[in-house]
Amino acid sequence: MSVPEKFTLIVDGEETTVDTGTTGAQLFFDRRDVVVMRVGGVLKDLDTELSEGVSVESVTIDSEDGLNVLRHSTAHVMAQAVQQLRPDAKLGIGPYIKDGFYFDFDVAEPFTPEDLKTLEKMMQKIVNSNQKFARRVVTEEEAREAMANEPYKLELLGKKDGAEEAGEGASIEVGAGEITIYDNVDRKSGDVVWCDLCRGPHLPNTKLISNAFALTRSSAAYWLGDQKNQQLQRIYGTAWPTKDALKAYQERLAEAERRDHRKLGTELDLFSFPDELGSGLPVFHPKGGIIRKAMEDYSRQRHTEAGYEFVYTPHITKGHLYEVSGHLDWYRDGMFPPMHVDEVTDPETGAVIKPGQDYYLKPMNCPMHNLIFRSRGRSYRELPLRLFEFGSVYRYEKSGVIHGLTRVRGMTQDDAHIYCTREQMKDELTSTLQFVLDLLKDYGLDDFYLELSTKDPEKYVGSDDVWEEATRTLAEVAEASGLDLVPDPGGAAFYGPKISVQARDAIGRTWQMSTIQLDFNLPERFELEYQAADGTRQRPVMIHRALFGSVERFMAVLTEHYAGAFPAWLAPVQVVGIPVAEAFNDYMFDVVDKLKAHGIRAQVDTGTDRFPKKIRTASKDKIPFVLIAGGDDADAGAVSFRFRDGSQDNGVPVEEAVKRIVEAVRNRDK
């Protein structure tokens, strides 16, 4: 019997000797948590045969790559179950996504919640049967034969050479060389029970999916994400390495649902979205208006202290302005269609005497701020010039992406544009970033990382040299902050790269907050100039900065971050006084009057509800301070505190109570 030949390879950084023909499954046989491997930097199935000299890295099921493979494999199991339940279902695409997966199907009837429950049970049977995921390299002809009854897969085969541009999720199925099919193979009989066109990789078997998955919802979706295509039915799901991890995720979802700003906005009477106004156009009610005003007032104060000057600009403009800026070339789809006005016609002949003009609702404030800068000669002594505006802008968001206050069509940007010299720009960027972080912290957000968005090679203006300088400068500023910096290739606006401040909220979700963009291009397009110290005319550098992003979205974020229990300085009603009985109403009014004299938003509940009901109402309204007064309190010139967590502090002298509340509001205690 011949001795197997041996060779060496690098496994997780260490040189290892193995037999010829060794697969990843054999190499990691004792590592049950390893589900795929990275060979020469490329993810591969474990049953891939290894060759001499390659570098092999283990990929565990709880790593990012491992989770993606787990979720994509679970999507295959779901699709198999769907075609068992609905044999007429035609397969679309089934990629992994953040925290889960989806699969699109062409079916006669939409899926119901009962269908999802049935599918989960069918999936569990498939998982328990321990089917093997087997990769098969095929020719295009063989693929077309295997997918003969799947029209959408046949369409993808025709797009294999341009899969990255073909549409949503296409590259999961085809592209990058070989055409592969994954068979789901019955462990006992060896028969192929189901297959799909897919690039992989996949788990070795379905058993690894365990019982740590769930189907979450179904919805309509367009084939390849294009509204011009056939509407399909999409099923979403999630999968995790363990049942405990799944439960933890479901608890996070439940908490996120409890914090949903749309629900809290209604419960707390903050804002609404009247149908009469149109999609994505909110109105703020008095209580929401108080929060918004407090946010804006504090922001104005801080901007004034930081040397910003306030400007105001109209909501509409002639289209030519956005031709100069480039927005009509690069951002037209995100703008509302124009209004054609001022045309004068002959009343008898109908002939045009004076041509009309197209006016657009403004999607950005920056072109108008450029006009302010250009309105007169500027000197280097004026720079940096910091212009700030709470500017109303309008964007034609597609109906499918509008979401509460976080994605609207009419919004207020806390927008600043800073004009400075080339020599000033790095210091100005540094101080701007610090200003942004400090102000966000004042509103209660303090867990940040940064994202650097760089040039989209298909969507930019200006020279490569200018972009390179701007990108390098932003990167240096971001790195100097000490915060983690994550790349976002191709994510920049057409006129310049940007730093985005990503903030984590109270339950660990990430929100994009402030953006800082460095722009050498718009000053050129608007021919902005200042007189330098040597008498020459120079172009300023322009820094675009939105701190909240939009006031609307920031309010949504804060509402969810605090779960509606805003800190006292932002709360619409800061104090409610509740007399134990009607006899103590006047006493409580005196206390509330003392608070009002200090600018505290306080009121007395003199309603007809019983005392316990009033306490519950104050709790439901998430009032920061509830003051209670009965006979003992009145006799002692005191009140009792009841806090949001249900705790109490009894018999506090009125003057001390007032001082506590005023200081908590003044110090913006969280």
420 catalytic residue (yes or no): no
366 catalytic residue (yes or no): yes
The residue among 65, 35, 66, 61 whose CA lies nearest residue 48 is 35
CA distance 541 to 538: 10
Residue of 498, 601, 622, 642 with catalytic role? 498
498 catalytic residue (yes or no): yes
603 catalytic residue (yes or no): no
User: Identity (one letter) of the amino acid at 572?
Assistant: P
Residue of 395, 409, 545, 553 with catalytic role? 395
417 catalytic residue (yes or no): yes
659 catalytic residue (yes or no): no
Residue of 183, 415, 505, 605 with catalytic role? 415
| Per-residue pLDDT at 214 | 97
CB-based contact 485:509 (threshold 8 Å): no
Instruction: Calculate the CA 598 to chain-centre distance.
Output: 39
CA distance 344 to 667: 59
Instruction: Calculate the CA 83 to chain-centre distance.
Output: 34
Residue of 115, 131, 153, 366 with catalytic role? 366
Q: What is the value of pTM for the model shown?
A: 0.83
- 466 exposure class (CB count in 10 Å sphere: 0-12, 13-18, 19+): middle
Residue of 417, 545, 561, 642 with catalytic role? 417
The residues pairing with 389 across neighbouring beta strands, listed in sequence order, are: 415
* Six token digits for residue 163: 């899969």
| Per-residue pLDDT at 1 | 46
Q: Which residues of the chain have pLDDT under 70?
A: 1-4, 160-176, 670
Angle (CA) 518-524-528 rounded to 5° is 95
CA distance 428 to 430: 5
Residue of 76, 544, 561, 614 with catalytic role? 544
| Per-residue pLDDT at 200 | 87
413 catalytic residue (yes or no): yes
| Per-residue pLDDT at 30 | 87
